[in-house]
């Protein structure tokens, strides 16, 4: 698939135009909604999206509100949180995909924050989601970390409320974690850090209950040298899927051909795509045999 063949759509999600990159496979066997980490523009994931497309997946890559091609930026006057992504944007992408490529299995794949969105969405719409793929995705709950990283997480959690009061938004580009983020989004993020629970301001739902009841599949991909998502911290996400068929796999630097940290895998995606494709194919075989 050539660079020029990758179109950018804008979906109306009720007053907000969501930029969406679309990678249609020549002979698709499944649809994937691919969601990025906190503060990351969609274009960062283009190598991953293209390689997934070459492997036979239709890939829809939405832009995070406030980043990349998004028409808005967080400010003291412009605020938003998890709710907008969970209640407006991701369902709109799923609806759009069902029109573009009906009848195919749907997988939600997310990196870090995008993985949390994928998990929550599967719990909210279980009959629409055939499986969840989380890559380098952990909650920021300090109990999942050790040593210096745990102290850094605690310091960040103490610093964020101060910055929100000072700026009216979170200046992550100055702190070195995330980017310019909306204050409600970071307050939703802080709930994960303090309680290891999902909550979204404006959504009166038990988001954890839906995940506990989800009976699809979960593939958890951990990068061996990822200090932001070590084994215990990633388990704080995958352990929420008590009714699902959970597969945990580790990708090393040797397999990746690059440092297996929190970010580089998305730019050197061959190993990750191989894991995803193998897992989906095994699920397809099991489904047909069952």
Q: How far apart are CA 7 and CA 20, in angstroms?
A: 8
Kindly state the average pLDDT of the residues 113-134.
Answer: 98
Q: Sorting pLDDT into bands at 50, 70 and 90, what band is 6?
A: low
Confidence (pLDDT) at 290: 64
Question: Are residues 129 and 109 in contact, defined by beta-carbon separation less than 8 angstroms?
Answer: no
Say yes or no to pLDDT of 5 above 70. Answer: no
Question: Are residues 187 and 81 in contact, defined by beta-carbon separation less than 8 angstroms?
Answer: yes
Q: How far apart are CA 175 and CA 248, in angstroms?
A: 32
Tell me whether residue 184 is in a domain.
no
CA proximity to 261, closest of 59, 42, 48, 112: 112
Burial zone of 38 (CB within 10 Å; 0-12 exposed, 13-18 middle, 19+ buried): buried
Tell me whether residue 192 is in a domain.
no
268: domain CATH number is: 3.40.50.1820
Tell me whether residue 150 is in a domain.
no
Say yes or no to pLDDT of 82 above 50. Answer: yes
Q: Sorting pLDDT into bands at 50, 70 and 90, what band is 4?
A: very low
Task: Report how many domains make up the chain.
Answer: 1
Averaged confidence pLDDT in the chain? 95
Q: What are the residue ranges of helices labelled H in the chain?
A: 46-54, 82-83, 90-100, 113-124, 147-167, 172-175, 183-195, 207-213, 231-238, 253-256, 270-289
Kindly state the average pLDDT of the residues 212-222.
Answer: 98
Tell me whether residue 41 is in a domain.
yes
Confidence (pLDDT) at 8: 87
Q: Sorting pLDDT into bands at 50, 70 and 90, what band is 2?
A: very low
Q: How far apart are CA 273 and CA 184, in angstroms?
A: 33
Kindly state the average pLDDT of the residues 37-54.
Answer: 97
* Residues of the chain above pLDDT 90, percent: 94
Tell me whether residue 196 is in a domain.
no
Confidence (pLDDT) at 287: 75
pLDDT in tens, 89-120: 999 999 999 999 999 999 999 999 999 999 99
Q: How far apart are CA 29 and CA 69, in angstroms?
A: 29
Tell me whether residue 152 is in a domain.
no
Q: How far apart are CA 237 and CA 120, in angstroms?
A: 10
The range of the structural domain enclosing residue 80 comes to 3-139+207-289
Q: At what angle do helices 231-238 and 113-124 cross, to 10 degrees?
A: 20
Q: How far apart are CA 153 and CA 157, in angstroms?
A: 6
Confidence (pLDDT) at 14: 84
Question: Are residues 75 and 114 in contact, defined by beta-carbon separation less than 8 angstroms?
Answer: no
Q: Sorting pLDDT into bands at 50, 70 and 90, what band is 286?
A: confident
Tell me whether residue 70 is in a domain.
yes
Kindly state the average pLDDT of the residues 227-250.
Answer: 97
Kindly state the average pLDDT of the residues 154-163.
Answer: 97
**Which structure tokens are listed for 173?**
């580009």
Single pTM value for the model = 0.96
Confidence (pLDDT) at 121: 98
Residue showing tokens 């990283």: 149
Tell me whether residue 175 is in a domain.
no
Helices (H) and strands (E) in the chain, counts: 11, 10
Confidence (pLDDT) at 163: 98
**Which structure tokens are listed for 152?**
């850094």
Kindly state the average pLDDT of the residues 230-256.
Answer: 98
């Amino acid at each position: 698939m050539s660079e020029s063949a990758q179109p950018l759509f804008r979906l109306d999600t009720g007053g907000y135009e969501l930029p969406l990159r679309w990678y249609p496979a020549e002979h698709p066997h499944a649809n994937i909604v691919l969601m990025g980490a906190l503060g990351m523009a969609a274009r960062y994931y283009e190598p991953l999206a293209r390689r997934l497309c070459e492997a036979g997946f239709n890939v829809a890559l939405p832009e995070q509100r406030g980043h990349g091609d998004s028409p808005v930026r967080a400010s003291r006057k412009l605020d938003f949180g998890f709710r907008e992504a969970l209640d407006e944007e991701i369902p709109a992408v799923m609806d759009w995909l069902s029109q573009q490529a009906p009848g195919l299995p749907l997988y939600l794949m997310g990196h870090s924050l995008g993985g949390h969105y994928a998990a929550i969405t599967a719990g909210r719409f279980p009959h629409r989601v055939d499986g969840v793929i989380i890559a380098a995705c952990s909650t920021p709950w300090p109990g999942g970390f050790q040593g210096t990283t745990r102290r850094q997480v605690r310091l960040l959690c103490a610093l964020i409320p101060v910055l929100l009061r000072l700026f009216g938004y979170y200046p992550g580009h100055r702190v070195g974690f995330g980017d310019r983020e909306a204050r409600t989004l970071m307050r939703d993020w802080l709930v994960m850090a303090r309680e290891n629970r999902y909550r979204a301001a404006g959504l009166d739902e038990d988001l954890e209950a839906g995940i506990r009841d989800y009976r699809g599949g979960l593939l958890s991909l951990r990068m061996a040298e990822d200090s932001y998502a070590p084994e215990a911290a990633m388990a704080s996400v995958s352990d929420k899927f008590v009714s699902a068929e959970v597969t945990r796999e580790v990708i090393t630097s040797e397999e990746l051909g690059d440092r297996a940290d929190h970010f580089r895998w998305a730019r050197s995606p061959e190993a990750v795509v191989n894991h995803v494709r193998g897992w989906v194919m095994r699920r397809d075989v099991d489904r047909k045999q069952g």
